[in-house]
Amino acid sequence: MKKIRFCSIASLFLLAPAFFCDGLSAQTGNLRLLDWKPKTQLVVKETVILKPKFPVIDIHNHLGKLENTKKYLEEMDKAGVWKAVSLDGGSAKDFYKEHLEASQKVSKDRFLVFFRPDFSKIDDASFGVKEAQKLEGAVKMGVRGLKINKLLGLVYKDKTGKVIPVDDPRIDPIWSKCGELGIPVVIHVSDPVAFHTPIDEYNERYDELGAHPSWSYYGDQFPYSKEEILAQLYRVIAKHPKTIFISTHMGNLAEDLGRVSMWLEQYPNMYVDIDARISELGRQPYTARKFMIKYQDRILFGTDTPPNAEAYRVYYRFLETDDEYIDPAPSHHLQGRWMIYGIFLPDDVLEKIYNKNALKIFGMFKG
């Protein structure tokens, strides 16, 4: 009778280094995480959508490179985009005038320009009143909204060296003027949650921040936390109920749709857009789909990406199909090491998000 021999646990551990070394010997050298670009072996349905089911109004874009305006229109035509909003109409040096002229020269009705206040003048006497008056003149020329970028609350400072909070009372006349004129405020404050945390092994946007370290807003040089900046924003929205606020990037907190839902319930003058956040929405497809159906009258389409047909088509695929494991990077850029899933919204919801909600807001204009 043959004896059955069993390896001891200890002998397995002695063999393990050789086994694993053999497996690793196929590697040609050390691989940095930032250089790792795995190709999936998953085989799933891929739906090609060249144009959306309904004409699109891109409420959030940056078209300030005026020499590219004709190219922007060409890409919009390829992708079925009806209108695009440029948020680059700066008050500084009256750039909004140049922007309006260049956009209208290419098309009278395909581009909309929004006004950006010049916060470098925050310490001037009656800053808010003067900028509000300038905004009113800009609206008479064709401007159709106001844009606030994320540097308010993060970087912009007054002469005392203090970072200007979003709810600084010196800005109040501008918010009020928007309500008086019936034009919306597209407001971006703070950034993704990960941008406000250390760039370490726990940061889920390590790749993105590794490529763009200046995008990090973590550190003592930023006196307001993301939570405090959000609180400032929602104090402004509450204080100005007659003004429409589009809290951009899905309420500036796409990672927590429960809280965004709470704000939408609390502030009837608040809307959100989806720009540059399908990478967040698409990794929570069940929650995102329920949210977007429930708040279908308060959500707008936007991209935050200069018009590019292929970028738009990623958005359409996300919104219109039930495709799985979609790479969201071409819609904006690499934001996280994950894929997204389509949420196949009903047609009536799609049409509202693509254009009807934006048309409703633009229809509030009191010109």
Cα–Cα distance, 178 to 135 (Å, whole number): 9
Task: Check if the beta carbon of residue 142 is closer than 8 Å to that of residue 184.
Answer: no
What are the chain's domains? 53-362 (3.20.20.140)
Specify burial of residue 62 (Cβ count, 10 A radius: 0-12, 13-18, 19+). Answer: middle
What tokens were used for 100? 């309006």
Angle at 348 (CA atoms; ends 253, 291), nearest 5 degrees:
25
- Nearest residue to 183 via CA among 355, 367, 58, 357: 367
User: According to the model, what pLDDT value does residue 25 have?
Assistant: 52
What tokens were used for 260? 């965004």
Cα–Cα distance, 50 to 130 (Å, whole number): 46
The CA distances from residue 355 to 92, 106, 117, in Å, are: 31, 22, 27
User: According to the model, what pLDDT value does residue 36 have?
Assistant: 82
User: According to the model, what pLDDT value does residue 287 have?
Assistant: 98
State the Cα torsion 118-124-129-133 to the nearest 10°: -50
User: According to the model, what pLDDT value does residue 148 have?
Assistant: 98
The order of strands in the sheet holding 81-90 is 56-61, 81-90, 111-116, 146-148, 185-187, 245-247, 270-273, 299-300
Per-residue pLDDT of the chain (367 residues; tens, 9 = 90+): 444 444 444 444 444 554 444 555 556 678 887 788 888 898 999 999 999 999 999 999 999 999 999 999 999 999 999 999 999 999 999 999 999 999 999 999 999 999 999 999 999 999 999 999 999 999 999 999 999 999 999 999 999 999 999 999 999 999 999 999 999 999 999 999 999 999 999 999 998 898 899 999 999 999 999 999 999 999 999 999 999 999 999 999 999 999 999 999 999 999 999 999 999 999 999 999 999 999 999 999 999 999 999 999 999 999 999 999 999 998 998 888 899 999 999 999 999 999 999 999 999 999 7
* Global model pTM greater than 0.75: yes
Task: Check if the beta carbon of residue 111 is closer than 8 Å to that of residue 332.
Answer: no
What tokens were used for 119? 């916060």
The CA distances from residue 350 to 45, 58, 297, in Å, are: 21, 13, 10
Cα–Cα distance, 203 to 191 (Å, whole number): 14
User: According to the model, what pLDDT value does residue 289 have?
Assistant: 98
Q: What is the largest CA-CA distance in the chain?
A: 103
What ranges in 194-330 are assigned the alpha helix state H? 206-211, 226-239, 248-251, 257-266, 278-281, 285-294, 309-320
What tokens were used for 315? 């958005």
Task: Check if the beta carbon of residue 69 is closer than 8 Å to that of residue 91.
Answer: no
The CA distances from residue 133 to 61, 144, 174, 198, 201, in Å, are: 25, 15, 9, 42, 49
Burial per residue of 271-302, b for 16 or more beta-carbon CB atoms within 10 angstroms, e otherwise: bbbbbbbbbbbbbbbeebbebbeebbebbbbb
DSSP 336: S
Residues 6+ apart with CB under 8 A from 78: 309
